[in-house]
Amino acid sequence: MPLAVYILGLSVFALGTSEFMLSGLLPPIARDMDVSIPTAGLLISAFAIGMVVGAPLLAVVTLRMPRRATLIALISVFGLGQIAGALAPSYGVLFASRVVSALACAGFWAVGASVAVAMVPVTARARAMAVMIGGLSIANVLGVPAGAFLGENLGWRSAFWAVGAASAIALAGVVTLIRRIPAPERAPELRRELSVYGDRQVWLAVAITALAGGAVFCTFSYMAPLLTDVSGLPDGWVPAVLALFGVGALAGTTVGGRYADAHLFGVQLSGIAGSTVLLGVLALTASHAVAAIVLTFLLGFSAFYTAPALNARMFEVASAAPTLAAATATSSFNAGNTAGPWLGGRVIDAGFGFASTAWAGAAMAVVALALCAVAKRLHASRDPRRSRLVAASVPGQRTGKEEGIGAARVLEP
């Protein structure tokens, strides 16, 4: 992996911490802002909505801009958004700061992912994405529980200040360590990139990604009150259990990234099926603290085990549009991160309790599993020779970018 890919992964740590840390901060934010926990949960959806809209929008706006300068600008705006959140005097201002931060985060993800994929052979795309997603996993291991700890002991605003500091470190890394990003062989063309949206496989990939991610985050977004109110754990246990989710996520990313390049559909189907079962079991056993703790770890594994394959699949079906492929993958994940917490909040408001969010998430996962089976069948029927062409394009040793370019041409429709 080129050094730039690892720097991008480290930058994603700051982005991911901000995106997910509210899972452990909802109770203190709700108290301070005088709103209900489901209303505070909309801050998670606000960030996700900003990601959904911002990824394709900023991908288009920055299509012909220098990649390095774009990354620097976006991480700077993101850091300023964290400062605005830390200083927010009202719920409305905090909500707006989350949207602005999300727009910058989305742009960084879209540009960063396209850069990471362009710097490696096509046979290593899932591994490159696993490095970036690894930043999210580490955010869940360290950043999210640290944010919950800060929120519990120093107030929730301290968590925003901490992410602002992490953003400054990420900015320094991009400025000093990413010296040059190679230009693509062919200049990006908006019309050519937009043409991929005529492929139903792209839309299937969008739906599968959104539903698979939303299924887990429908529950994870309300994990703190579930652990305290349903499982009966003390508040001080919440950061440690959220850290376990992150450990599972890191392990899942590592394993999924290792196998996804060779088994895209196998990883997707097994990971989504695993999430379905785990969510159902959590719904039935949430009142037992030990079961809730173990299942939190396993859910982190299943969700992030699937993520490299979902990303790589998007780049495969939208290979003619690498910039918008990255943006679309980002939007898809965050469409799920919008729909999941929203659905979870509606279930809670309906009086079914925090554990019922796991049933709602399981239902989303079942739909994702069915769509994945449809996508696999369409993939096989559209071009039965495709897998043999890909295999023929992969040399025994992956030694150069030229090999990846050759393989990419084989994959193009």
Summarize the confidence of residues 11-28 as an average pLDDT. Answer: 83
Q: With bands split at pLDDT 50, 70 and 90, how would you rate the model's confidence at 181?
A: low
Tell me, what's the pLDDT at 385? Answer: 44
In a domain? residue 283: yes
CATH number at residue 66: 1.20.1250.20
Task: Give CA–CA dist 120/369, Å, rounded.
Answer: 30
Looking up tokens 């603290």, which residue turns up? Answer: 289
Model confidence over 325-350: pLDDT tens digits? 777 887 888 788 778 888 998 999 88
Angle at 45 between CA 355 and CA 169, to 5 degrees: 110
> How far, rounded to the nearest angstrom, does the alpha carbon of residue 350 sit from its chain's CA centroid?
28
Q: With bands split at pLDDT 50, 70 and 90, how would you rate the model's confidence at 74?
A: very high
Number of domains in the chain: 1
Q: Name the DSSP class of 34.
A: T
Report which residue type is found at 159.
A
Tell me, what's the pLDDT at 106? Answer: 84
- CB contact at 8 A, 245 and 299: yes
In a domain? residue 404: no
In a domain? residue 408: no
Domain span at 378: 3-179+197-382
In a domain? residue 309: yes
Retrieve residue 236's tokens: 């001080």
The average confidence (pLDDT) of the chain is 81
CB-side exposure of 136: number of CA atoms within 13 Å?
A: 21
pTM of the shown model: 0.71
Hey, is 384 helix, strand or coil? coil
In a domain? residue 371: yes
Task: Give CA–CA dist 19/135, Å, rounded.
Answer: 12
80-84, 242-246, 382-386 — which one is most confidently predicted on average? 80-84
In a domain? residue 398: no
Q: Name the DSSP class of 197.
A: G
In a domain? residue 409: no
**Predicted confidence (pLDDT) at residue 182 exceeds the cutoff of 90:** no
Q: How far apart are the first and last CA of the chain?
A: 27
Tell me, what's the pLDDT at 389? Answer: 37
Give the DSSP per-residue string, 157-171: HHHHHHHHHHHHHHH
Task: Give CA–CA dist 121/407, Å, rounded.
Answer: 8
**Low-confidence winner among 39-48, 117-126, 177-186 (lowest mean pLDDT):** 177-186
Task: Give CA–CA dist 159/147, Å, rounded.
Answer: 5
Tell me, what's the pLDDT at 384? Answer: 47
**Low-confidence winner among 113-122, 203-212, 227-236, 256-265 (lowest mean pLDDT):** 113-122
Model confidence over 231-252: pLDDT tens digits? 999 888 888 888 888 888 888 8
In a domain? residue 157: yes
Task: Give CA–CA dist 359/378, Å, rounded.
Answer: 29
Contacts of 120 (CB under 8 A, 6+ apart): 1, 2, 5, 127, 128, 401, 404
